[in-house]
Amino acid sequence: MPGSMRVHRLPAVPRNDVVLSEATMACLDAHIFDFDRHREGLKRLCQSTQKGVLLYGPPGTGKTHVIRYVSANLPGRTTVLVTAEQTIAIGFYIALARTLQPSIVVLEDVDLVGRSRENTYGQKAERLLNRLLNEMDGLEPDADILFILTTNRPEDIEDALASRPGRVDEAIEIPLPDAGCRERLIALYGRALVFEDGAVTDAVARSEDSSAAYVKEMVRRLAQRSLARDGGDVVSREDVEMVFGDTRALSSRLNRRLVGLSEKASRRQNPEEDECDCCD
């Protein structure tokens, strides 16, 4: 292979650190972990052990974190991570995955490569898409490879990739966290903090329609405010009100996107911007 290859040590990601709904976790169990556990039986029954799973959802919901969780908890598989710019050499990566199978091939932001032909511009982009499709099709029937693809824009993916079993067999949504998940996220990221009565409830309410990344950043700002006040670890309801209500800290759409605040939550916090989109 041209260039260098890096081998990473996978971080341990326990199940409790993956904050998703029970329904989403059940999908991950059924289509990834149960599938992996039964692959020898599937071979005995003359069934394919190649599988494709698409993880989709808004930015900041934890798709990459789910990949870390899957990779860390399938230690019998080697994970090959392919970024969008590396798909030009997709043949080398698939060959590596075949050599090291059972393996996982991760294609992040696959919409950048597997974009609908209607929205693909230039012969180079179309050749890259065709190369990806051909490599996924060209595997032997007994290939023991799990493809995990991620995207923030599932509607932009080429139908030949997203709608054909054998390439992508299951699409699993990684959605914005609901109230219960946001409470668990605050407990996870704020495990070293002490929240006064009502502070967590206020934080959950004020983070409606926001991403896990946004909740994580807001907890860090709560911790910083606590340190700035007295060097302690106590978070009050006033701290929550000040941090989540500080419109100066999120004074532009770019800042709100950077911390993972959804458009819906952004409009609720800054309704005046809807009146003047021409200035964005």
Residue of 257, 177, 239, 174 whose CA lies nearest to 210: 177
The 10 Å Cβ neighbour count of residue 203 is 26
**15-173 maps to which CATH number?**
3.40.50.300
**Segment 173-227, tens digit of pLDDT:** 999 999 999 999 999 999 999 999 999 999 999 999 899 999 999 999 999 999 9
Q: Which CATH architecture has domain 179-270?
A: Orthogonal Bundle (1.10)
Q: Are 83 and 128 in contact (CB under 8 A)?
A: no
Q: Which of 94-108, 125-139, 183-197 has the highest mean pLDDT?
A: 183-197
For residue 276, is pLDDT > 80? no
Q: Are 104 and 77 in contact (CB under 8 A)?
A: yes
Output the pLDDT for position 280.
43
Give the pLDDT band of residue 279 (cuts 50, 70, 90).
very low
**Segment 56-83, tens digit of pLDDT:** 999 999 999 999 999 999 999 999 988 7
Q: CA separation (Å) from 197 to 43, 95, 185, 226, 231?
A: 55, 56, 17, 16, 20
Cα(178)–Cα(208) distance, integer angstroms: 8
* pTM for this model (two decimals): 0.82
Cα(280)–Cα(276) distance, integer angstroms: 8
User: Pick the residue with more confidence: 157 or 106?
Assistant: 106
Rg of the chain taking only CA atoms, in angstroms: 21
Cα(105)–Cα(171) distance, integer angstroms: 16
Percentage of the residues of the chain whose pLDDT score is greater than 70: 76
Give the pLDDT band of residue 118 (cuts 50, 70, 90).
low
> What residue spans define the domains of the chain?
15-173, 179-270
Lowest mean pLDDT among 17-26, 100-109, 117-126, 165-174: 117-126
Cα(150)–Cα(104) distance, integer angstroms: 13
Give the pLDDT band of residue 261 (cuts 50, 70, 90).
low
